[in-house]
Amino acid sequence: MTEINEVAIDRILNPTSIDLGEYVINPYMGCEYSCMYCYVKSNKAVYKKKKPWGTYVNVRMNAPDLLKKEIEMTRPKTVLLGSTTECFQPVEHTYQITKKIIEILHNNNVSYVILTRSPYILEYLPLLKQGFCSKIYFTTNNFNNDLKQLLEPESPSFAERNNAIITLLEEGLTVIPYFSPVVPWITDLKNVFCSFTKAKCIEFEFLNFNLKDIHEIVNHLLKIEPSLKKRFDDMLNDKEFYGQMWGNIERDIEAHAVLWKKEFKIYKHDFGKFFENSYS
């Protein structure tokens, strides 16, 4: 059961180095979906809390009021919603902080990009179609159900997410299906491009083998495919093998993209580069 805390914060618009907006806005701290590979878990502020990720959500009750004031002062043109939380997680049903924030952005002519994996975003379709939502990155995947239960048991099903992506695209919104994490030897790349015929571009993020929890993640992967033990060991320890393996997957993605005449982008992680998230 997730602990829900109503909190007040000092600031809601935070400058960012992510090139998707001048500022990030996170209506909540914490996330009910609790994905094991979530990069926010490596955020120093989260680590200091010493509460397991996924067990709490802080609802930033004063975020809408703060936003009205901060917009007056900073006059942003573009913002990114949901860099370290899921804006449309179940708690949004009760508090609607994200909804209030979107309404304030509209009233001030601020355009925004959304990162999400929640089909609950469809509830806000009329709002999103008012012209200020410039892009939605919608994370999905195609693990089998056993693996999904191990890696992200609380998140919405991939079928629900894929249907939401298709609906948003049909409604004319710019949606990037964001396929993450791509796991070598497990991810099925064959059916990705044909699933989203209306999407202009599909993006991929490779599994980050530098995450703090990577050994736990690999142990879960091995529960599904025990025969991959040697290969995962090599991914963790052999730089040359790591480079070759991801190179093969990159070429595979490119071949499918050419076949389906789609644009694509891949986010990779360097071998052995310790990952520390400093996004707020």
Instruction: Report d(CA 163, CA 142) in Å as an integer.
Output: 13
Q: How far is the CB of 204 from ligand SF4 (least distance, A)?
A: 15
Burial of 111 (0-12, 13-18, 19+ CB in 10 A): middle
Asked if 92 touches ligand SF4 (CB under 6 A), the answer is no
* Residue closer to ligand SF4, measured from CB, 31 or 249: 31
C-beta of residue 80 within 8 angstroms of C-beta of residue 20 = yes
Residue 179 in contact with ligand SF4, rule: CB under 6 A: no
Determine the interface stretch with ligand SF4 among 13-21, 33-41, 124-132, 266-274 (rule: CB under 6 A): 33-41
Residue 104, SS3 per DSSP: helix
Nearest distance from C-beta of residue 124 to ligand SF4, angstroms: 17
Q: Which among 29-37, 159-167, 242-250, 254-262 is the span making contact with ligand SF4, rule CB under 6 A?
A: 29-37
Applying CB under 6 A, among 40, 66, 71, 80 the residue interacting with ligand SF4 is 40
Asked whether position 35 contacts ligand SF4 by CB under 6 A, the answer is yes
Q: In the set 33, 120, 124, 137, which binds ligand SF4 (CB under 6 A)?
A: 33
Beta-carbon contacts of 40 under 8 Å, excluding residues fewer than 6 positions away, are: 31, 46, 53, 84, 85, 277, 279
Order of all β-strands in the sheet with 14-15? 14-15, 23-25, 78-81, 111-116, 133-140, 175-182, 201-206, 263-267
Closest to ligand SF4 by CB, 71 vs 81, is: 81
Which residues lie closer than 8 Å to 152 by C-beta, 6 or more apart? 33, 34, 35, 36, 37
- Beginning with the edge strand found earlier in the chain, give each strand of the sheet holding 3-7 in spatial order: 3-7, 56-60, 28-30
31 near ligand SF4, rule: CB under 6 A: yes
Please state at what angle helix 239-260 crosses helix 229-237, rounded to 10 degrees: 110
Comparison of 31 and 128: residue with beta carbon closer to ligand SF4: 31
CB closer to ligand SF4 out of 33 and 193: 33
Q: If binding is defined by CB under 6 A, does position 98 make contact with ligand SF4? A: no
Q: Is 180 a residue that touches ligand SF4 (CB under 6 A)? A: no
Interface with ligand SF4 includes 34 (CB under 6 A)? yes
Give the C-alpha separation, 64 to 97, whole Å. Answer: 7
Q: Does 85 bind ligand SF4 (CB under 6 A)?
A: yes
Q: How far is the CB of 22 from ligand SF4 (least distance, A)?
A: 21
Residues that bind ligand SF4 (CB under 6 A): 31, 33-35, 38, 40, 85-86, 117
